[in-house]
Amino acid sequence: MSISYFIPDWDDRVDPGYDFLTDKHTPGRNPYRDDSYAHEIYPRPPYDGVLLSRAVLDNNSKKLNDLIKLGSVHTYLRLPKTHKVLGDCGAFSYWEKDVPPYTTHDMVDFYHSLGFDYGVSVDHLIFAHDDAERRRRQELTLSNAEDFLAEHSKECQFIPIGVAQGWSPESYRDSVKKLLQIGYGYIALGGLVRSTTEQIIQILQEVKPELRSDTELHLFGVNRPEHIETFATLGVTSFDSASRLRRAWMDGRRNYFLGNTAFSAIRVPEAQRLAKKNDGIDIGEALRLEKIALSALRAYEENSDASYLEQALTAVLAYDELAGEVTDRTRNDYRETLVRRPWAYCECAICKKINIEVIIFRGNNRNRRRGFHNTWQLYEQLHGHVQELPSPLDASLSDAGQMTLL
C-alpha cells in the first residue's frame, strides 16, 4: 500500500529546550525562531508533507509576511525538500460566503512564487440543502478548476490539483468525471470531514470507475487509519488530517495512541491557571497538591511497582478534586494509563526522551509533544508498523487494581 500523509500546518511547534522539572522555557527563547516542528524533532518526519492553507496565513499577518519575505514555503516551514508542501485555499473558512474570497490568478501566482509542490484549485464547500445552490457551488468549483488549469503555465513548477465537491456519491462522480475531462491527473475530494466512513466508502466506490490507472486521488481532512487499506484499494493515494495531533489535548479521553489502543492523559494543570479558572481554590493548597502529584508521577516512573502506582493515582486524583468532583470513569481511565505504562513501550524519539512527561496533560510543551507522538504512531501504522503493548501484563502491576479496557 502506498498512500501519502500530509499534516495541516497550525503553528504546531514546541520549545526543544523546555525544562519539564521546573516548567521553564529556554532562556532568551523566540518562539517563531527557536521552537521546533515535529519534523525537526524526529530523525525522519512523521508525514510525507505539510498542508498549508492560504486562509490560515491570511488570519495571521506576521506569518504571511514572514513567508513572503523568505520567498520559499519550504524555508518558512523548515521542511526538507524531500517532503512536499500542498497548498489550498482553506475552504472551511469561507463556506458561508456566496463566493470564495480568492481568484484563480491570485492562487496560481501564490503557489508558483512561493515554491509549493502542489496547488489546489479554488473550491467552494457544499453544505446547502437547496438543490439550486448545491449545483451553483459545484459548477463554480468546476469552473474555477478549469480556469486554474488554463492559468497553470509551463513556467509553474507546482502540480495542479482539481477539487471535486458534491453532496452525494453521484454528484461527486460527476465532478471527478468533469475534472478528468478538463485534464487533471490529481484530484481532491473535498467536504468529507463530517461524513461517516460508510458515506466516504460509498462515494469512493461510485468514483472509482472514472479513475484512470495514473490518476491520483486526495481526501481532504479524512483520517481513518483502520480503513486506509480500503481507501487505497478504491483509488486514494493521499490524505491530510490533524485529528490525531489535536486529540492529544482536545479529546476528553483519547489523548495518547499506541498502535490501535488509546489512553487518557493524566491531567495535572498548572496551579496558577487552575486557581484563575476557579475562584474558590486556595492557591497555596493548589501549589502544594500540584507538587505532590508531579513528584508522585515521577517517582512511579522510577519505581514502577504497585505501591508507587497507588501513590501516584491518589495524588493526581486529590489534585483533580480541587477543580470539581472526580468520576469513576476518570479514576478507571487514569488507572488504566498508569498500569499499562504505554509511554514506556513507545519507540518514538519523544517518549524515549521525556518518558512519563508525555502522558501528563499540562501546557503546550507536553500536550503538543504528545500530539507529535500520536502523529508518529499514525505514520508508523500507515507503513505497517503497529506497536502494541505486551500481554499479559506484568503481575506486579496487574495486582495494583482493576483495569478497565478501552
Residue in 15, 240, 320, 333 annotated catalytic: 240
C-alpha cell at 288: 502544594
Q: Which helix (H) or strand (E) holds 63?
A: helix 61-70
C-alpha cell at 59: 488570519
How far is residue 386 from each of residues 246, 260, 291, 401, measured CA to CA in Å?
Answer: 20, 8, 36, 28
Residue 98 burial class via C-beta count within 10 angstroms: exposed 0-12, middle 13-18, buried 19 and up: exposed
Is 88 a residue of the active site?
A: yes
Calpha distance 97→16 (Å, rounded): 41
Residue in 12, 15, 35, 88 annotated catalytic: 88
Is the Cβ–Cβ distance between 142 and 179 less than 8 Å? yes
C-alpha cell at 195: 461524513
Is the Cβ–Cβ distance between 388 and 263 less than 8 Å? no
Calpha distance 12→25 (Å, rounded): 16
Calpha distance 402→321 (Å, rounded): 21
C-alpha torsion 76→250→351→322, nearest 10: 130
Taking the mean position of all CA atoms in its chain, how far away is CA 63?
20
Residue 275 burial class via C-beta count within 10 angstroms: exposed 0-12, middle 13-18, buried 19 and up: buried
Taking the mean position of all CA atoms in its chain, how far away is CA 143?
31
C-alpha cell at 341: 505504562
How crowded is residue 345: how many other Cβ atoms within 10 Å of its Cβ? 14
Catalytic residues: 88, 240
